[in-house]
Structure 1
Amino acid sequence: MHKTVRFQRHRFAVLAVAAVVVVTGVARHASAQSPAEHSAAVPAQNAGAAPDAQKTMTIHVQLSDNQGHPVEALQEGDFTLLDNNQPQKLLGFRAVDASVLKSDPVQVVIVVDMINADAITVAREREEVGAYLKANGGELPNPTSIALIEDSGVKVLPVSTQHGDLLLASFNQTHSELRGIGRGGGLYGATENVQKSLLELGQLIQYEGKKPGRKLVLVVGPGWPLLSLAGDRADSKQRAWVFSNIVQFTNLLRDSNVALYCIDPFEVGGTDLFEYKGFLKGISAVKDATYPDLGLQVLATHTGGQVFISGRDILGSLKIAVRDASGGYDLTFAPAPGDRVNEYHALDVRVDKPNIKVRTTSGYYARVQWVRDGKGQ
């Protein structure tokens, strides 16, 4: 009998609180309860270890040339790591080559989003994911698992395998559990989708983060609404809750060794597909936090992952994304302890070679603490 891993919400209370608070803040116009009045508003405790509690931090760096091919055979001296524009001494360096990957393979998690897509789009997602699992005679390049983001919660098929035929058979036993997009109507309906999406993504990342090694989490779906207009109207308390969620997700994704990807099966005539690019700057203060800063595309970019505006070519995007599991470099350094609560540190990796694109973790927060209002930030 087919079984899936279903998450109990109380086991993932930190991110559940985070997601609910974000949406409650946005939906104030439709509800009398404000974020500050939410009964679950408690400080987060385990969603990403604070860098000041760590002696070292390791970040993964992905390099590619002008044609998108990975750049190999670089040495430690080719890299410069800046933390808030200050050069950092590398305490460790590892080129992730075939010998490393043989004993420490990258795990791939394909996530089918059924919350933020309609029935036609979900059907196409399933078809294209199935085609990926059947490609190359069903032989997958990496251990791979499937997760579903559904109206009833996130589910993970409990098998991770390189046998695509076995994974496809298990995947085909699942049913598409769709959500009536915006069923609450207008802005409130959109915030319901944001709430569920962030909650379930947080649960999934916590689950995967308990496993050793690096993970690529490939979300097949358009992502949740950015709510950019709601962000413009947010007050200080709402911005505080958004900021706290940014802090928690940023550190959780990094500490879980997850690179996040968005594979958007867009339809022509939809919303601005590149709107997220206006929200890629790191957020260092509550006053600058807006709801789009928690968009899937934004979170993915900040992990060093990629955003694919794929249209109907979901299969091609999956193949390109998985290439990131075949190499790269690990840099280890001593993170700054921070002089204040939730101090943001922007990371910048530079390579002493021309025409190389660098993707890596964009930053981290030191002295993490849940923010209840905008004071002092």
Structure 2
Amino acid sequence: MLQLELFVYHVPTIRTKTRTPMKSNTPLTRLLFTGVFLALEPTVAVSQRPQSQSSPSPTVTTAVDGIGLGDNHGLAQEEDFYTAMIRDKRFAEDRPEGLIKLDVMVTEATGNPVAGLAASDFHLLENGREQKILSFEGFTGRGAGPEPPVKVIVLIDALQVSAELVRDERDGVISYLRKNGGRLAHPTSVFQLSETGLWAVANLSTDGNALARGLEHSESTLVRRNTLGPRTVGLAPSIDFALMALGQIATEERRQPGRKLLLWVGPNGSRSEELKIRPSLYATICWFSTLLREAQLTLYSLSAGESESSAQSYNAYIAGVASPHGASSMNLDRSVLAIQSGGLVLDSSEIEDEIGKCVREAGPFYRISFDPFAAEHPDEYHDLKLEVDDRRLNAHTNTGFYDQPYYSADQIPPLKRMSLEELQRIVDLDESDAAKANQLKGVELTQRLSEGRLATLFTIVHGKRTRQQLRILADASSFLDPPTDEIPAAPPPSPDEQQHMVSMTATYLTSAIHKLPDFLARRVITRYQETPMFLESGVKYQPLHQTAISTTTVHYLHGQEDADAEGHSLRLGNLDLITYGVFDIALQNVLDALNANGRFTWIRWEREIAGRAAVFRSTVPVDQSLSRAMMCCLPDGDGAQTYQRYASYQMEIAIAPDSGAILRLSFQFDLKSTSPLSRSDTMIEYGLVQIGGRTYDCPLRSVSITRVRSVRVLRWWDESFRTYGPYTILLNDSSFDQYNIFRSESRVLTGFTPAEK
């Protein structure tokens, strides 16, 4: 079976000079340059689904609402491979998932965690408004499948603490580690913060005895030295050092999957006289709030040795700060950050028992996600409240977050919708090329601008800028319905006639795919990209605009497509969209859909340049799909992780009714989640070309368009972490020409006498 895959790849420091020809088992990553990659990758041809699956057995359907083929057109059946692929749990099915993710702990009044709840048991309020929970999962906390066990991090605070209290802290931690014979339920590590810096005392382990021995013998490694720089908050040194330690641990944990509990043991030395209105204070508050949420890190403050009056002084700041003018150093207080991250503040001197209470919150727990309400300005604070229907239970999670305008899935700024009639009026204006082009920027059409109509407009428009904008509009509209004057008024064919057309297409594809010779072709790719708002300070928004033109030679050898990497004129540091596999692989995908009982529904007649076309459409649901939406690289982990989901998709074919030849083919993913991808569409137009004196159906042009979230790096002092940024749109317009047969000839020359030396 063939797979339709979208790969978004942006590692701007990588450039490949050679490419390995695609083979059926070639890893996708071996084929990548930098940027966004869209591939139709062959694996193994499959004629039908195994009967054990939920999909119906192959039948011939003659109803108007669906056309299928039950005959196997010469393709081998590989049911075992199909079963393995469709049940491959490394790649989950595409499902709704929100941008903001929260880990949720639910406890009884006694503090015991509660398992077995469902999404319907919760109500999420964002700024007092009911918010829709898009995804919901429950976890044991001990690790299962891709979810690792909850990690426990113990930080002993010896910063400006008496030697006696430090000893008590260490003894309490050691006592906890040695409980139950030193068998820890969760992987645990131990750090210590002192005047010299942050030290790793005991590495991650579930062997409590080994951790205790490391702590007893002070076997520590320096993680970071306490130094003040110009980009610190500028508060008291003890506060800056504590925040730097928190930033160090949290940014490292942002690169690791799963939930983490950070247990900060010791009096809260980060508390001092309230300080307001520092230029970087509000930005620092936003940074730490976002970091703790993105790192899935819950902070617990075990304030041993702290006076009760001092311990309660943080309560007035838990609600969060909504503007720079209200920012206070107390908004960065350890206890405030603990409550806001969903953790606890404990002030008992029984350190061993308090650690046990915190670790008990490792699980079971829940993870929910949602898409936030639109923000009017950057770093807009939104309050969160999670309620459980059972009032006897308590749910605690992040109490708020800092929203961004680009967190919304809406287009920012919105595009101006324009009909073809309005477009024609602008083209007819007696204005300069620049004036017309400016009126066409930031526009989306309401109907398809076909190649025939575009050619007519080009006879009127001769300015380079306006022509370029018209090309962008035409490409972006490739997946829209045509205008009514391009839909013939003929009645639809009968069900038998529809069945006959689809059967001819299957027969035609079986012949066309296997008869392609080895050849070379030139591919010219014009790349367009949107520069989004809020990308970086000082970067202005630009709607889709041309960024590069590249020319490559496509080699089609032994049924494999490969593009020559040399001459690839991409610029480093740019996102890129690469479309691969528009020759036989895309057509093979159609043939497989027909043979695997793909139900192609009659849509309409259309008027194409080549004549009248019959349009059919097939929708492949996610539970029957072998097509994966893929993206690299996510902001999670080390920045090299990929997003891979089986996704439903829609396939539309425009065929010649008298021969079944494919004139136009499009694939559109139906993505349920808006992050990291919200759109992935590819359209290919085919036509007759001469190769070696014979005529073949080959691609003439293709359009690929994707809308994907960028990745931003948020920095504070010398620490940084990745998070999702604004959407950007990438579009490729590819044309194919200069088809030439690829072959070698040899001749034996007779009568040759070598020259005497």
How high is the TM-score relative to the length of structure 1? 0.74
Which of 386, 389, 407 is the matching residue for 1:349?
Answer: 386
Q: CA offset at residue 136 of structure 1?
A: 0.4
Q: CA offset at residue 318 of structure 1?
A: 0.2
Q: CA offset at residue 62 of structure 1?
A: 0.9
Output the CA distance in 2 between the equivalents of 1:100 and 1:76.
21
Output the CA distance in 2 between the equivalents of 1:59 and 1:332.
6
SS of match in other structure, 1:61: strand
Cα contact 2:202–2:215 (8 A) shared by 1: no
Query: Counterpart in 1 of 2:300?
Result: 261
Which of 358, 365, 370 is the matching residue for 2:402?
Answer: 365
1:241 aligns with 2:280: yes
SS of match in other structure, 1:272: helix
Q: CA offset at residue 56 of structure 1?
A: 1.6
Which of 199, 203, 209 is the matching residue for 2:244?
Answer: 199
Which of 189, 205, 211 is the matching residue for 1:145?
Answer: 189
Output the CA distance in 2 between the equivalents of 1:354 and 1:317.
25
Query: Counterpart in 2 of 1:168?
Result: 212
Partner letter of residue 114 of structure 1? A
Cα contact 1:116–1:222 (8 A) shared by 2: no
Partner letter of residue 143 of structure 1? P
SS of match in other structure, 2:110: coil
Output the CA distance in 1 between the equivalents of 2:259 and 2:141.
15
SS of match in other structure, 1:59: strand
Query: Counterpart in 1 of 2:746?
Result: none
1:320 aligns with 2:350: no
Output the CA distance in 2 between the equivalents of 1:109 and 1:98.
15
Query: Counterpart in 1 of 2:174?
Result: 130
Larger Rg: 2
Output the CA distance in 2 between the equivalents of 1:138 and 1:221.
23
Output the CA distance in 2 between the equivalents of 1:360 and 1:217.
14
Output the CA distance in 2 between the equivalents of 1:129 and 1:63.
26
Cα contact 2:123–2:387 (8 A) shared by 1: yes
SS of match in other structure, 2:320: coil
Cα contact 1:344–1:365 (8 A) shared by 2: yes
Output the CA distance in 2 between the equivalents of 1:118 and 1:67.
34
Distance 1:101 1:218, change over 3 A: farther
Higher deviation after alignment, 346-355 or 248-257? 346-355
SS of match in other structure, 2:189: strand
Query: Counterpart in 2 of 1:272?
Result: 310
Output the CA distance in 2 between the equivalents of 1:348 and 1:126.
36
Q: CA offset at residue 71 of structure 1?
A: 2.0
SS of match in other structure, 1:160: strand
Post-superposition Cα deviations, 1:223-278, rounded to whole Å, max 9, x if no partner, equal: 224224x43xx3x4x1x4221111110000000010000111125x6752211112
1:298 aligns with 2:336: yes
Cα contact 2:142–2:363 (8 A) shared by 1: no
Output the CA distance in 2 between the equivalents of 1:219 and 1:117.
14
Partner letter of residue 178 of structure 2? K
Output the CA distance in 2 between the equivalents of 1:212 and 1:56.
16
SS of match in other structure, 1:159: strand
Cα contact 1:190–1:225 (8 A) shared by 2: no
Cα contact 2:242–2:270 (8 A) shared by 1: no
1:340 aligns with 2:377: yes
Distance 1:166 1:158, change over 3 A: closer
Output the CA distance in 2 between the equivalents of 1:110 and 1:98.
17
SS of match in other structure, 2:369: strand
Output the CA distance in 2 between the equivalents of 1:171 and 1:212.
26
Which of 326, 330, 345 is the matching residue for 1:288?
Answer: 326
Higher deviation after alignment, 140-149 or 94-103? 94-103
Taking every aligned residue pair, what percent have the same amino acid on both sides?
A: 29
Output the CA distance in 1 between the equivalents of 2:367 and 2:308.
38
Q: CA offset at residue 98 of structure 1?
A: 6.4
Output the CA distance in 1 between the equivalents of 2:141 and 2:175.
26
Cα contact 1:65–1:357 (8 A) shared by 2: yes
Cα contact 1:90–1:331 (8 A) shared by 2: yes
Q: CA offset at residue 211 of structure 1?
A: 1.1
Output the CA distance in 1 between the equivalents of 2:171 and 2:142.
34
Distance 1:158 1:206, change over 3 A: farther
Structure number with higher strand proportion = 2
Distance 1:299 1:209, change over 3 A: same
SS of match in other structure, 2:261: strand
Output the CA distance in 1 between the equivalents of 2:348 and 2:281.
29
Cα contact 2:202–2:214 (8 A) shared by 1: no
1:223 aligns with 2:268: yes
Cα contact 2:160–2:195 (8 A) shared by 1: no
Partner letter of residue 215 of structure 1? K
Q: CA offset at residue 101 of structure 1?
A: 4.9
Residues matched between the structures, number: 298
Q: CA offset at residue 327 of structure 1?
A: 1.0
Cα contact 1:122–1:176 (8 A) shared by 2: no
Query: Counterpart in 2 of 1:42?
Result: none
Cα contact 1:116–1:223 (8 A) shared by 2: no
Structure number with higher helix proportion = 1
Query: Counterpart in 1 of 2:203?
Result: 159
Query: Counterpart in 1 of 2:580?
Result: none
Output the CA distance in 2 between the equivalents of 1:338 and 1:92.
22
Cα contact 1:262–1:306 (8 A) shared by 2: yes
How high is the TM-score relative to the length of structure 2? 0.38
Output the CA distance in 2 between the equivalents of 1:98 and 1:163.
18
Distance 1:328 1:297, change over 3 A: same
Query: Counterpart in 1 of 2:125?
Result: 82
Query: Counterpart in 2 of 1:69?
Result: 112
Partner letter of residue 301 of structure 1? I
Partner letter of residue 283 of structure 1? V
Query: Counterpart in 1 of 2:157?
Result: 113
Q: CA offset at residue 97 of structure 1?
A: 2.8
Output the CA distance in 2 between the equivalents of 1:345 and 1:94.
23
Output the CA distance in 1 between the equivalents of 2:383 and 2:327.
16
Output the CA distance in 2 between the equivalents of 1:176 and 1:96.
33
Q: CA offset at residue 358 of structure 1?
A: 1.8
Output the CA distance in 1 between the equivalents of 2:240 and 2:360.
31
Query: Counterpart in 2 of 1:330?
Result: 367
Distance 1:86 1:116, change over 3 A: farther
Output the CA distance in 2 between the equivalents of 1:101 and 1:258.
19
Partner letter of residue 359 of structure 1? H
Cα contact 2:138–2:367 (8 A) shared by 1: yes
Query: Counterpart in 1 of 2:89?
Result: none
Q: CA offset at residue 99 of structure 1?
A: 7.4
Distance 1:222 1:341, change over 3 A: same
Output the CA distance in 1 between the equivalents of 2:164 and 2:396.
33
Q: CA offset at residue 340 of structure 1?
A: 0.1
Q: Which has the higher contact order (CA 8 A, sep 6+)?
A: 1
Q: CA offset at residue 72 of structure 1?
A: 2.1
Cα contact 2:193–2:199 (8 A) shared by 1: yes
Kindly report the root-mean-square deviation, in angstroms, between the aligned alpha carbons of the 2 structures: 2.4
Distance 1:100 1:87, change over 3 A: farther
Q: CA offset at residue 137 of structure 1?
A: 0.2
SS of match in other structure, 1:273: helix
Contiguous gaps of at least 5 residues in structure 2: 1-96, 222-233, 405-533, 538-713, 715-757
